[in-house]
């Protein structure tokens, strides 16, 4: 991430706006991360008094290669099996008895079903898990998670392989920034959540080129800190404690390291419109952040629907 930024790029900012999550969509794929995703969703629904929509994209179980026709009863059996499995998952979490929730199981691609549900139900937040496997540069989060980040306008909270449950979400919010105007919406979420829960807000910019020296270093850091603060509402200090930090090194490594130092309960990152995870800047670091973070990562696209 470079600190070479045009001041005009970050001069506008959004006013303080309360973040309200009335409907949360939980993408269920029954992988190893599902239980952690469930616990995260329950905590958030409790905090916001929100409704949970559990969504699972089913597909028929077919035995034998090269079958061009799938019997109708295979669809029925697979759909019933998926519905039963989802019901068992929900029954395993007693807290859901006190939370309004629904289950949606249909034959469709995961993205198609999630996207349709987000639009039809006016979902405020999507929660999904990620295996975060190493060595897959463009699919480091798994193809489904990457596709969600690229195509869904609703914010997506990704629960990575090392993310643990939180009982006090947003008590400490870390906003990883590239100092781009496209991060204004993400900055609004970060500051709004810190305000709502009276949490600490840490703004972090990582300079990958290595530190300068002397007067140059002081000027660079002064400028970066000023531009970070311009991303936030002017009255943010009235509601939460905001701290600006600058780190040097690899973005993903530094973001996750600072998140641990700050005891962050969530990391907020902006996702540029049509960005791929292998793109330069924070996009390329995002997969690494999710893979290594000890907390969920809230990914916010630059424009709403």
Q: Which domains does the chain have, with CATH numbers?
A: 7-301 (3.40.50.12370)
Helix 251-261 to helix 282-292 angle, to the nearest 10 degrees? 50
Instruction: Report the distance separating Cα 178 and Cα 204, nearest Å.
Output: 9
**Tens-digit pLDDT profile for the chain (305 aa)?**
333 333 334 444 445 577 899 999 999 988 888 999 999 999 999 999 999 999 999 876 655 555 555 666 767 778 888 999 999 999 999 999 999 999 999 988 888 999 999 999 999 999 999 876 544 334 334 557 777 888 888 999 999 989 987 778 899 999 998 877 678 889 889 988 988 888 899 999 888 776 666 666 777 778 888 777 777 766 666 566 788 888 888 889 999 999 999 999 999 998 876 555 443 334 568 888 988 999 999 999 876 54
Give residue 118's pLDDT. Answer: 96
Q: Give the residue carrying structure tokens 């559990």.
A: 54
Closest to 268 in 3D by CA, of 163, 197, 193, 179: 193
Residue with tokens 């080129």: 209
Q: What are the C-alpha distances in Å from 18 to residues 90, 128, 197? A: 30, 23, 11
Q: What dihedral do alpha carbons 287, 292, 297, 302 form, nearest 10°?
A: -30
pLDDT for the residue 13: 47
Please tell me the distance from the alpha carbon of residue 73 to that of residue 81, in angstroms, as a whole number.
Answer: 12
Distance CA 81, CA 297 (A): 31
């Amino acid at each position: 991430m470079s600190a070479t930024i045009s001041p005009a790029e970050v001069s506008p900012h959004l006013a303080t706006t309360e973040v309200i999550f009335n409907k949360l969509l939980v993408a269920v794929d029954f992988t190893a991360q599902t239980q952690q995703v469930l616990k995260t969703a329950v905590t958030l629904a409790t905090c916001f008094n929100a409704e949970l929509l559990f969504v699972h994209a089913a597909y028929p179980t077919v035995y034998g290669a090269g079958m061009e026709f799938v019997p109708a009863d295979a669809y029925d059996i697979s759909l019933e099996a998926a519905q039963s499995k989802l019901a068992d998952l929900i029954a395993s979490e007693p807290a859901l008895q006190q939370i309004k929730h629904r289950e949606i199981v249909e034959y469709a691609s995961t993205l198609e079903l999630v996207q349709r549900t987000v639009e039809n139900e006016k979902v405020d937040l999507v929660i999904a898990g990620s295996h975060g496997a190493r060595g897959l540069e463009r699919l480091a989060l798994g193809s489904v998670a990457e596709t969600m980040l690229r195509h869904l306008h609703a914010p997506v909270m990704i629960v990575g392989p090392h993310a643990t449950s939180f009982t006090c979400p947003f008590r400490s919010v870390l906003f990883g920034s590239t100092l781009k105007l496209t991060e204004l919406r993400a900055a609004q979420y970060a500051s709004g959540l810190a305000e709502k829960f009276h949490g600490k807000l840490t703004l972090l910019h990582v300079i990958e080129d290595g530190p300068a020296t002397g007067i140059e270093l002081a000027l660079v850091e002064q400028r970066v800190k000023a531009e970070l603060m311009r991303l936030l509402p002017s009255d943010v200090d009235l509601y939460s404690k905001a701290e600006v930090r600058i780190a040097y090194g690899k973005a993903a490594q530094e973001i996750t390291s600072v998140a641990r130092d700050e005891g962050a309960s969530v990391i907020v990152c902006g996702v540029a419109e049509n960005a791929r995870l292998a793109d330069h800047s924070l996009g390329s670091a995002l997969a690494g952040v999710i893979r290594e973070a000890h907390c969920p990562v809230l990914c916010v696209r630059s424009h709403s629907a």
